């Protein structure tokens, strides 16, 4: 498909946003490797990390075909201000309750986003979206299982999960920060928009939270953590990017 300048910029920004989210949350998930509270959880977080980073890589390859640098260069050498990930993905892993709740919020949004993108006019992305749905299904299953189990297990686990939900909701809402080029993407048939995604996301997560005896804070108190999509990030992103690129910078031409 031939794009005009405005369309090309809109598509690139959109692809960066999706892939950067996956790369950064993937790396955060990988930080549980060796630290998980159970060996199965160690493996689960490591596998989810591997999926998400692999998925990001294939989206970076689409960007490469659109004229951007190759996937490794994109992933490991950009300055934080060029990343388009949302703040939710950037935070350190914290306690296990936070990491589980973060994944719960993120995985559902990601699943629904790729369901929408499976019929996108951007064919290369639509192909990936169809593939990714089947993989992310297992990520969603993992987070739903723990949300339900810990939401109801005992008073301590319930209180910790509820506190994590309360502390994470604004970050999660930052996923849905609308881009200036939203109208362009919509008219091109690439993506219907973050508002549509956010309302589908709420419809999906509310019954699951309810079945786990957990509640979202009142919507009148929501203050979405926006900025990530515009390149404004938390203090946690730059050190992470630096760490991710450490080996790459030693020898950018190394064969793996």
Contacting positions for other proteins (CB under 8 A): 40-41, 43-44, 46-48, 50-55, 57-58, 127-128, 130-135, 137-138, 141-142, 256
Q: Which is nearer to other proteins, 131 or 158 (CB)?
A: 131
Q: Which is nearer to other proteins, 38 or 235 (CB)?
A: 38
> Is 136 buried (19+), middle (13-18) or exposed (0-12) by CB count in 10 A?
buried
Which among 73, 76, 57 has a CA at the least distance from the CA of 19?
57
Q: How far is the CB of 150 from other proteins (least distance, A)?
A: 16
Smallest separation, CB 119 to other proteins (Å): 15
- Give the sign of the dihedral formed by CA 103, CA 105, CA 108, CA 113: negative
For 46-156, where are the E strands, in sequence order?
Answer: none
CA 150 vs. chain centroid, Å, equals 23
Which lies closer to other proteins via its Cβ, residue 57 or residue 77? 57
Query: What gap in Å lies between CA 109 and CA 105, rounded to an integer?
Result: 7
- Least Å distance between CB 113 and other proteins? 15
What minimum distance in Å lies between the beta carbon of 45 and other proteins? 8
Residue 93 vs 216, nearer CB to other proteins = 93
What is the nearest approach in angstroms of other proteins to the Cβ of residue 206?
Answer: 19
Rounded Cα gap, residues 205 and 26, in angstroms: 21
3-class secondary-structure state, position 57: helix
Q: Which is nearer to other proteins, 217 or 252 (CB)?
A: 252
Alpha carbons 4 and 16: distance in angstroms, whole number? 18
The DSSP-derived string for 143-190 is HHHHHHHHHHS-HHHHHHHHHHHHHHHHHHHGGGPPPTTHHHHHHHTS
Cα of 199 vs its chain's centroid, Å: 17
List C-alpha distances in Å: 33 to 29, 41, 48, 123: 8, 9, 11, 35
Choose between 128 and 225: whose C-beta lies nearer to other proteins: 128
- Residue 194 · residue 176 · CB < 8 Å: yes
Least distance from other proteins to the Cβ atom of residue 51, Å: 5
Nearer of residues 54 and 189 to other proteins, judged by Cβ: 54
Q: How far is the CB of 114 from other proteins (least distance, A)?
A: 11
């Amino acid at each position: 498909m031939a794009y005009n300048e405005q369309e090309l910029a809109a598509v690139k920004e959109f692809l960066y946003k999706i892939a950067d989210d996956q790369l950064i949350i993937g790396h955060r998930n990988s930080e549980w490797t060796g630290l998980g509270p159970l060996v199965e959880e160690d493996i689960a977080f490591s596998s989810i990390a591997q999926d998400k980073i692999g998925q990001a890589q294939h989206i970076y390859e689409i960007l490469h075909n659109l004229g951007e640098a190759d996937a490794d260069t994109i992933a490991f050498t950009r300055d934080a201000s060029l990343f388009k990930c949302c703040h939710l993905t950037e935070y350190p892993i914290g306690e296990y309750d936070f990491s589980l709740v973060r994944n719960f919020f993120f995985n559902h949004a990601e699943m629904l986003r790729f369901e929408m993108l499976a019929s996108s006019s951007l064919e290369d992305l639509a192909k990936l979206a169809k593939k990714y749905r089947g993989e992310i299904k297992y990520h969603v299953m993992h987070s739903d299982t723990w949300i339900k189990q810990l939401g109801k297990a005992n008073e301590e686990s319930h209180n910790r999960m509820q506190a994590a939900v309360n502390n994470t909701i604004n970050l999660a809402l930052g996923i849905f920060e609308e881009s200036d080029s939203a109208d362009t993407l919509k008219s091109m048939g690439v993506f219907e928009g973050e508002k549509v995604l956010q309302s589908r996301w709420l419809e999906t997560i509310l019954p699951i939270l309810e079945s786990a005896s957990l509640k979202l804070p009142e919507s009148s108190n929501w203050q979405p953590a926006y900025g990530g999509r515009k390149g404004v990030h938390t203090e946690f992103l730059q050190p992470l990017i630096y760490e991710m690129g450490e080996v790459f910078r030693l020898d950018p031409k190394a064969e793996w």
